[in-house]
Amino acid sequence: MATNVYMEALSPTMEEGRVVKWHKKDGDPVKTGETLAEIETDKAVMDLVARADGVLRQVAAPEGQTIPVGSVVAVIAAPGEAAGETPTSAAQTKPSGSGKRDTGNVATAPAPVAVATPPAVAPADATRVKASPLARRMAKEAGVDLKLVTGSGPGGRVVKKDVERAPNQAAPAAAAAPAAPLSPVSRVPLPERTGTAYEDVPLTQIRKTIAKRLVTSLGPIPHFFLTTEVDMERAAEAREALNKQLGDQGEGKVSFNDLIIKATALALARHRACNAWFQEDHIRYWNEVHIGMAVAVEDGLITPVIRHADRKSLTEIGREARELADKARNRRLQPNEYTGATFSISNLGMFDIDQFTAVINPPEAGIIAIGSIVQKAVVVDGHLAPGRRMRITMSCDHRVIDGATGAAFLRTLKQMLENPLAMLL
């Protein structure tokens, strides 16, 4: 009996997916759990896996095409079995309003199950190098043989930095085709100039999601903003002392961002009114603190979540933050790694931004925007002296957080950063 291959909901908010690459071709034998294709969702690149044993037939979605969730993209037929007529074009197949899926003109197949988290995937072809889509594209443009590159990502996966460190093996033909230019800040691939007045670039899945989320945030949510300036001298001294000790132990370094995440989590534990979600008919006050940290990816922004951040040490937060950021940039986050934040942090200090306002990520009720640490002249005991200062701006949902409530939270956060020993109380 033939089994339809559907475009599955590979993330909780996914409505459509773009086929990045087929790992199996029409006529290839497949086994349950094997990767059939890589799918770009609204958050990451994930694997579409086989739900039955057999032979892949009637691949109806070419690479690069965007397909609605629930559409038939191929058929898995039993060996020697005729899979029936070609299924309806995936581009024209839409899930019905009742939630039923179009099965296409194929043999009887079991009803599909949309899953938020894909099951364990069986090992793919051992001859295929494990690499992120970005690393593959960079390697192709630079003429780098991925088989000669040692991967530093999860499970030995080749990631962007591995390709950047690899020696350039570009052939003359490859050198004649330069990579698309990147914007200096966001590193988004830009189309080559064609001599026309403009170039239109289709929205990626993550850009579509960002656009939808912003419409549901800045418009409907009544934002207000609070800004405070923090003396970062003691935080800088504490960080230097910790990293000196950690260097002797061979552990990862503590960043200012790690200190901010830890202090924010502890402040939220004391101010539950800010650690909240606005729901349509109620406010959910969280007893757990899960911090979303904004990470700039190739064509947008995603917020991996550090769960129970108030209970974790600085080294644990630092290690987890680095791992999540690396997975985010390589579009390999799982849904449980970017959902469920109770409060978010956006840090643009590394771009020399002194102060900015961030847009709330609903249903969260607040987010803080972190500026750069600037050395400036400050008044200490009536005298001018050099000092390191950092500005924090909090965006508040006024339906949940009042001005005094947000100010009290910021005051506690400021006290913890200005005196890191307060984190031990």
Angle, vertex CA 401, rays to CA 399 and CA 406, nearest 5: 155
**DSSP strands (E only) in 97-253:** 223-231
Rounded Cα distance between 369 and 127, Å, is 45
Rounded Cα distance between 230 and 391, Å, is 6
Active site residue 383: no
On whether the CB atoms of residues 21 and 38 are closer than 8 A, the answer is yes
Q: What is the DSSP string of 312-361?
A: S-HHHHHHHHHHHHHHHHTT---GGGTS--SEEEEE-GGGT-----PPP-
Rounded Cα distance between 280 and 367, Å, is 20
Angle, vertex CA 408, rays to CA 405 and CA 413, nearest 5: 130
> Measuring CA to CA, which residue among 417, 380, 391, 413 is closest to residue 233?
417
Contacts with 351 (C-beta within 8 Å, 6 or more apart), sequence order: 185, 372
Cα within 13 Å of Cα(80), Cβ side: 0
Catalytic residue among 23, 271, 282, 398: 398
In this structure, what are the phi and psi dihedrals at residue 6, rounded to the nearest 5 degrees? -100, 155
> Measuring CA to CA, which residue among 379, 341, 381 is closest to residue 363?
341
On whether the CB atoms of residues 23 and 37 are closer than 8 A, the answer is yes
Q: Which residues are catalytic?
A: 398
